[in-house]
Structure 1
Amino acid sequence: MPETVKETETEKGRGDRQQRHQGSQSSPNVVSLISQFADDNLTLVRNISTGLAVAGVILIARSIKLITKFQAASEIPARFIEKNVSLRGKVHSITDKGLEVEHIPIHLPVISPLLTKHSGVCSSPLLVHLVGVEMTPEGKEWLQKNLLPAQTVWLKLISREDDILHCLVSQSRGLLWSCCINENILRLGLARTTPITGVQPDSRLYWQLHRRLHRAEVKAERKGLGLWKEDSLWERASKSIRDNALVRLMRRLFKRT
C-alpha cells in the first residue's frame, strides 16, 4: 500500500510539472506573437499610439478650455475669474467704456484648427475695464497713444460684471519685464482710484489691489502730476485778479465806453 500511494504522488507531481512547463511555454508564445504582430504592423501601432495621444490632448484641452477663443465675457469659465487667470489679447480700440481686446488663445499645431468654434467667423472683442481706475479724458488720450491697435496685452481677470471684464492690464516691455497699465496711468495722474469692482472688501485680493493702486496714485499726488498739478504763483495771482469783483466792474465800464 505505501508503495502504491508513493507512486500515485510521483505521477501527480510529474503531471503538475508538465502543466507548469506547458504554461511557461504558452506565456512566451503569447508574448512572441504580440511582438511579432507589432513588428509586422509597426506603422499601424505607431498610428494608433499617435491617435491616442492626440485624443488625450484634445480631451485635456477641451476640459480646461486651453485653446478656446473667448468672444464675450460670459464665455469665460467662472474658475478662470476665481483663480485670476491671465489671458493674452490684441487691442482693437479705446472707447469711453474701456478697452476692446480680441482674445488670443494658445495655439497648438494641428489640434487648434480641430477645436476652433468660430472658424471663418468675424471675431468679437472683449470689453475690458481697468479695475480700480476712473479715467479722465486725458487718460483716455494717453491710452489711445500708448495702446495702438493690434498691440498685444495681458489681461489678469479680477471680476466680471454683465459683459464687462475688470482686469489688470499689462503691456510687455521685453522678455522679462512688463508694465501694468492700471498703475502707470495712476502714476501719471491721469486717473483716480475707485473701489475694486466685484471683489469682497474684506478679502486679501481686494487689499492687495487697493494698496498697489493707491501707492501709484500717491506718487502722482506727491509729484503734482496730472490731476494733482498745482498752479504756479503767477497763475494763482492772475486767477484771483480775474475773479475780483472790482476788476470785473472796471472791465464792464471800459466796454461801454
Structure 2
Amino acid sequence: MATKKNTKKTPVKSNTKTQNRSFMGKVMRFFFKLFLWGFGLSIFFVVLFKFVPIPFTPLMAIRAIENTQEEKEVYLNHDWVPLEDISMNLQKAVIASEDGNFLRHNGFDFKALANAYESNQKGKKLKGGSTISQQTAKNVFLWQGRSYLRKGLEAYFTVLIELIWGKERIMEVYLNSIEMGNGVYGAQAASEYWYHKDAKDLTKYEAAGIAAILPSPRRYKAVNSSSYVNRRKDKIVRVMRHVGKIDYDKKPE
C-alpha cells in the first residue's frame, strides 16, 4: 500500500512575517553599528582635539560656501595661538560678555537658560542661554541651526569636552575658533584685523570691543563702532572688574 505524501504547504503569511522580522533585524543592526561608529568617532575627535590645534571648523566651511554662492570674496583669516599668548583681558571680557558663570558650571547654566526662556516668552529681544562650553561644542563639531537634533548633539559634545578637555582647554579652543569678524576667526586674527597687534597685547577696552561684537560679528565693528556696541563695550569693562582672578584648575561648583 502506497504511503500518502504530506503535501501540506507553509502558509505565505508565515514566510512574510519571517522576512519582515529579518529585514527589521538588519535595519536595527545597521543603526546600532552606525551609533557605535558615531560614538567612537566622537570620542576619538574630542580626545584628539584636546592636544591638537583645530585647523578648520564647520562654520568656516559654511561661510565659504555662502560667500561663493553670493559671488563674494572668500576670505579666511585664522591663526591658532596657545592660551598663554592671548591676553587675560580678552579671557575676562568673553566671560563678562558671554558666560559669567563659566568657571562655576559644568557646561550648562540652567539659571541663564531659564532667564532667556522667560525673556523670550515675554516677547523681548530673542536671546540665548548658551554657555562658552556649548558654543565651543557647536563651533567645533556641529552646524548652525536650532533643530532638536543639533541641540541634542550640542549637549552631548558639551558633556564630553567638559569631562575630557576641562575649562582651560575649552577657553583656548573657544578663543581660537569663534567668529570675530567677516572671515576672521580666533583671537590672534581678530587682534590683527581690528587693532593691528597680537592677541597677548590687547587692552581691557580693546578686548571688550571684540567681546562686544560676538553676538553678530559680521554685522558689528570692534572699532569705529555704533553707539550700541560702544555701550556694550562700557558695560563689559565694568563687569570685567568683578570677574576676578581666573583659576582654570578650580573644580566647578
Query: What TM bracket, shorter-length normalisation?
Result: under 0.3
Decide which structure has greater helix share: 2
Higher RCO structure (Cα 8 Å, ≥6 apart): 2
Rg comparison, structure with higher value: 1
Decide which structure has greater strand share: 1
Task: Normalising by structure 1, report the TM-score.
Answer: 0.26
